[in-house]
A and B are shown apart, each in its own frame.
Chain A
Amino acid sequence: MNFLLIIPYYFSWHYSQGILDYFRVWKNLIWFLWNFFSIKVLLKTFFTPFQRLKETYSGGLDLENFATSIIVTNLMRVVGVFARSALIIFGLISLTIFIVGGLLGIIIWLVLPFAVLWLMFISIIALIK
């Protein structure tokens, strides 16, 4: 059957280009997580007030206004630092899990074709019995 011709093609792909593709996709996903948790932006703007919310102080000798401005702005800074820290930590944990998982995944990738065939084989045997 012509269809069976695919098998050698497939296996040669799985252990050559397939592995390269695996790493490429893995790299893309790491990039995605890094991006998804906005780690770089959050670090760069770590002390920026949350959503840039602030009281604008118009200058002059208005002490009350001046104080409000400082308090609100710094409060928002603190909120921002907390929120960002939480997200950065969560992001880094996810990234670590993914990177380690991806390394283990390569072992799975290597045995996958045989594992799948073996699984199919034993389940058919089990059903026949």
Chain B
Amino acid sequence: MISFIELKHKTESLNSIVILEQYLNYRLRYFLKKILFITSTIGLFLLLISLESKKIPVGDVANFFNTYVFQIRAVFFLVFSLWMIVKLLDAFFYSVYFDTDNVATFELARTLYFSNPDDLTKSFFQSYQGKIILMRLGIDTKIFGEFLNNRRETVNDVEFEMADDIDGFITMADYGLALFKFDQELQNFFMAQGLTEKEFVKTIEWVKNTEEQKISNGIWWTREKLAKIPSLGRNWSFGKVYLLEKYGHSIYQDKNYKYLGGKEIIYQKYTGELQNILLKSEGANALIVANTSDIAMNVVSTLGRVLINGHIHSALEDHRIFVLDAANLIDSLKSKIEFEATFREILIQANDAGNAFVVIPRLPNFIDSAHELGVDVAEVLAEFLSSSSIQIIALADDRGFHQSLETNKNLMQHFEKLVIKKIDDSGALNILEEEAVRIEVQYDIFFTYKALEKISESAVRYFADSEYSDKILDLIEEVKIKTLTEGKYFVTEKEVTEVVALKTGVPQGAIGEGEKEKLSGLEEILHQRVIGQNLAIEAISKAIKRARSGIQNPNRPIGSFLFIGPTGVGKTETTKALAESFFGDEKNIVRFDMSEYNSYDAVEKLIGGTEHQTVGTLSAKIRENQYGVLLLDEFEKADKKVHDLFLQIIDEGKFTDVRGEEINARNLIIIATSNAGSDLIYQASVNDKEAILEKDKIINAIIERGIFKPELLNRFDGVILFHALKDEHIAKIAKLMLKKLEKRLLEKGIKIDINETMINYLVEVGRNPQFGARAINRTIQDVIEGQIAEGIIDGKITHGSLVKFDFNPQSKELKIVV
């Protein structure tokens, strides 16, 4: 452990520039340099004129210069010497700031230098970076001020200590974390603000990196900066690659390179291997396989960085890296002949140039798209792959590689494979951090860390089908536009959730007032459509509230339920009501009749077949409707393998289709319905028992009959029992349905008298355990609507008629009375 005094001692070597910054900070120096440079240039000009004043034809001007020649000189030398002083102080600042002997960062030194020994926490947040950190955390300064004033205890320099296990520089993040761990009240405050320790540390790192980046922008004399100046005559010895410039770009213009930032450390070890592959005497082509092609591209970008810094193997130092824009190539060239000729010409030019590395991102996709045009990319490539003057760096993600490259022996023999182990690219948020700062420079908005975190999270959860970096950049762009159009300054989690909710239709983030009402009254809302089934509705409402409060497991579907009960007791109606209340529209249901999936090839039908490369119905439909209710009717009739498939989907919230593509099911509410065991449920109601009380018995019977495996039943968030309907429920349903009919008839100007006779008749029909409420619907259609229709056609019923129905005891049917 090290004490505060020891820590402060470690930063002492930076105190000189801490003092310099206190009186003459680098922004001020920047402006002084500009002003002094301009004035000394003017001074120099005047000085030169004064030296030649005798030659000036205009007498007055000549006199002026003659009289003031000494003053002009004096002013020039004064301004010039001041300019030099600022320049030297600048050099001094940068030298100390970036001194490799430092054990701590400048910002930490500055914070410690000005710290009040009696209250380290307050000093931390009142430091130059502390204030920015607070804003990035999205904490209201007023609320924080109140917290500071109302603390019971403060952390002082005597009691504070931090772990002495930091490799490299000690930064503000290390000190901030130590303070956080030490200060229980600060921890409680952050927790109340919804901030975690990790978010706090990451925010400090972001602020630190941004500041360091700004300062390093002032330096031009490092090798890295100098190397970026294009050299003369280098291309004289190598051919031009016009077409590659048209249908591609240099690695240094690539989006991925732009956002590489500090991530190069992760990929550096792979660039060594990549160089070894590229150094081979001939056929030195690399295929980089990673879990995403973004990651594969990061390796190439890192190679670009190594190349520009001159740290590359000498045999490769004159090379240029070009990235082929395959999508652009395919979009602009529509015909097979044109495409094939252009692609070949691109490779010929690159080959003749003699120093080109041609990067083909997402090679499997490129092969597929070209295949649609009838072009065999592999064949064209093969002509060049054994040449020693062109080198191809192809990229593929794991999936694409296994699917279309691995088996292509002809193509693979020309490539040496470089497999990137599954990388936890924790630098992924860096892309957003850099982009946010870039946006802030251009527009008057300010991002909080939570907003970036939410963008990253949402990108993974809701937009699973494109590359991660594309998704997050699209999302931050949309958030930016929304914030600007609404005239806001702070971009918080709320602004992001609004954009995501708008894009997906899935309610997000903090629960709004209107929604709060809706959620707390969810049971009543569901009851407006579903009659009876109190316990079932209660169980579902609870599960939905849990999902909406954000405490559910994000790696599973929003909810998953198995509805068990006889036909026509409200299972489908509940599903519709749920879709309406949760996703805003009852049409947000993807329905599968699972009785169609009971053959041996059922799984193949659902996720696609290998043999004929068919697309699975389930994969296709979920891909189209990622947000909604997935209704699996008559689930018990599906093949056992289908049950196993859904066991996995419910468990992991995703599945892989036949093409190896991952399909995201985490934004669905999965509802499986079944009338397994409905005989028992009906029996219970005949014996006047609450079926729900017999739930265990019924479920056990279902397992014993081998309808569902216990592990499948356990995966569902809830197995919900729908009891058989009682007369009072059937009567209510009948009334509800007749009301609907009444409304439809009124639109045609026909009135109907809904009376007890009709309802009693319908109750009698609806008591049928085989059909339940569905029978009522059918009877209304066949008997009631049928007779009305006949009446309309016969002309007996016209606009303004009042229709009545009576029970005919002889035929035991309802008869119309107009």
Contacts and interface: CB of A to CB of B under 8 A. Distances in A.
Contacts of A21: 91, 95
26 contacts: A2-B23, A18-B91, A18-B95, A28-B223, A35-B310, A36-B231, A36-B232, A38-B234, A41-B234, A42-B236, A48-B237, A51-B235, A51-B239, A52-B352, A52-B353, A83-B233, A84-B237, A113-B88, A120-B85, A123-B74, A123-B75, A123-B76, A126-B70, A126-B73, A127-B71, A127-B74
A87 B78 contact: no
Given A9-B16, A126-B73, A127-B71, A41 B237 contact: yes
B92 A14 contact: yes
Interface in B55-99: 70-71, 73-78, 80-82, 84-85, 88-89, 91-92, 95-96, 99
Interface in A3-33: 3, 5-6, 9-10, 13-14, 17-18, 21, 25, 28-29, 31-32
Given A28-B226, A80-B237, A127-B75, A119 B80 contact: yes
B222 interface: yes
Contact of A2 (B22, B84, B89, B99): B22
A28 B221 contact: yes
Contacts of B222: 28
B95 A17 contact: yes
A66 interface: no
How many A residues are at the interface, by size bracket?
35 or more
B565 to A, nearest CB: 79
A38 B77 contact: no
Interface string B341-381: 00000000000111000000000000000000000000000
Contacts of A98: none
B507 to A, nearest CB: 57
Contact of A13 (B22, B71, B95, B353): B95
A81 B110 CA distance: 57
Contact of B92 (A18, A32, A42, A122): A18
A112 interface: yes
B125 to A, nearest CB: 24
Contacts of A25: 221
Interface in A67-87: 80, 83-84, 87
Contacts of A45: 236-237
Contact of A116 (B70, B88, B91, B99): B88
B236 A13 contact: no
Contacts of A119: 77-78, 80-81
Contacts of A124: 74, 78
A123 B96 CA distance: 31
B186 to A, nearest CB: 31
A126 B99 contact: no
Contact of B16 (A13, A28, A44, A126): A13
Contacts of A123: 73-78, 81
Interface residues of B, number: 47
A88 B222 CA distance: 24
A45 B235 CA distance: 11
Interface in B1-46: 16, 19-20, 22-24
B240 A51 contact: yes
B227 A112 contact: no
A28 B224 CA distance: 10
6 interchain residue pairs of minimum CB distance: A45-B237, A9-B16, A126-B74, A52-B239, A123-B78, A123-B77
Contact of A36 (B77, B229, B354): B229
A122 B99 CA distance: 35
Interface of A: 2-3, 5-6, 9-10, 13-14, 17-18, 21, 25, 28-29, 31-32, 35-38, 41-42, 44-45, 48, 50-53, 80, 83-84, 87, 112-113, 116-117, 119-120, 122-124, 126-127
A50 B78 contact: no
A116 B81 contact: yes
A14 B16 CA distance: 13
A113 B92 CA distance: 12
Contacts of B91: 18, 21
A5 B19 CA distance: 8
B495 interface: no
Q: Which residue, A9, A18, A112, A124, has most C-beta atoms of chain B within 10 A?
A: A9
A29 to B, nearest CB: 7
A32 B309 CA distance: 11
A127 B77 CA distance: 11
Contact of B236 (A14, A17, A36, A84): A84
Contacts of A9: 16, 19
A100 B238 CA distance: 33
A100 to B, nearest CB: 19
Contacts of A53: 239
A76 to B, nearest CB: 10
B90 to A, nearest CB: 12
Contacts of A52: 237-239, 352-354
A57 to B, nearest CB: 14
Contacts of B232: 36-38, 87
B151 to A, nearest CB: 31
A84 B222 CA distance: 27
A18 B92 CA distance: 7
Contacts of A50: 236
B498 interface: no
Contacts of A37: 231-233
Nearest to B229: A36
Contacts of A112: 84, 88
Nearest to B314: A40
Interface string B410-423: 00000000000000
A127 B81 CA distance: 14
A31 B229 CA distance: 12
Contacts of B227: 32, 35
A127 B89 CA distance: 25
Given A50-B236, A84-B236, A119-B80, A13 B310 contact: no
B318 interface: yes
A120 B23 contact: no
A81 to B, nearest CB: 11
B78 A14 contact: no
B71 A126 contact: yes
Contacts of B77: 119-120, 122-123
Contacts of A28: 221-223, 226
Contacts of A29: 221, 226
Most buried by A among B24, B71, B75, B234: B234
A32 B233 CA distance: 14
B235 A32 contact: no
Given A35-B227, A51-B238, A119-B77, A10 B19 contact: no
Contacts of B24: 3
Interface in B234-256: 234-240
A18 B23 CA distance: 22
Given A6-B20, A18-B91, A28-B223, A80 B236 contact: yes
A6 to B, nearest CB: 6
A6 B235 contact: no
